[in-house]
Structure 1
Amino acid sequence: MEVEYLRQGVPLADYQLTKADHRRQEEAVEAHEWVQRHLAKAPPWSEERWEQMRGLLGSPSPAREYQRWRLRLYCGHIVEAARPRTAPRPDEGMCNNEACSQCGLDPSVIVAFEPLGSLSDPPPKERQQRPGRSPHKPRVDRRSRAELAAENAALRAELEALRHQT
Structure 2
Amino acid sequence: MEAEYLRHGVPLTGYQLSQADHRRQHEAVQVHEWVQRQLAQAPRWSDERWEKMRQLLGPSTSAWELQRWRLRLYCGHVIEATRLRERPRPDGGICDKERCPECGLDPAVIVAFEPLGPVADPSPEKRSRKPSRSTRKPPADRRSRAELVAENEALRAELDALRDQA
The TM-score, its normalising length taken from structure 1, stands at 0.71
Aligned to 2:113: 113
Q: How far apart are 1:120 and its partner, in Å?
A: 1.1
- After superposition, residues 135-150 of structure 1 pair within 5 angstroms as none
Q: Take 2:71 and 2:57, find their aligned partners in 1: how far apart are those partners?
A: 27
Structure 1 CA distance for aligned equivalents of residues 6 and 46 of structure 2: 43
Kindly, what percent of the aligned residue pairs are identical? 69
Superposed displacement of residue 54, structure 1 = 1.6
Structure 1 residue aligned with 2:52 = 52
Alignment partner, residue 104 of structure 1: 104
The runs of 5 or more residues in structure 2 that have no matched partner are 122-166
Q: Which has the larger radius of gyration?
A: 2
Please name the residue that 1:11 is paired with.
11
Matched, 1:91 2:91: yes
Q: Deviations over 1:59-110 (max 9, x none)?
A: 2111110110000000000000001111111000000000001110000000
Q: Does 1:78 align with 2:57?
A: no
The total of aligned residue pairs comes to: 121
2:55 counterpart of 1:40: no
Q: TM-score, normalised by structure 2?
A: 0.71
Q: What is the CA deviation profile of residues 15-57 of structure 1, one whole-angstrom value per residue up to 9, with x for unaligned ones?
A: 0101110000000000101111101110001111111112112
Q: Deviations over 1:98-141 (max 9, x none)?
A: 000111000000000000000115xxxxxxxxxxxxxxxxxxxx
Paired with 2:100 and 2:15, the residues of 1 have a C-alpha distance of: 17
Q: CA deviation at 1:58?
A: 2.2
SS in 2 for 1:7: coil
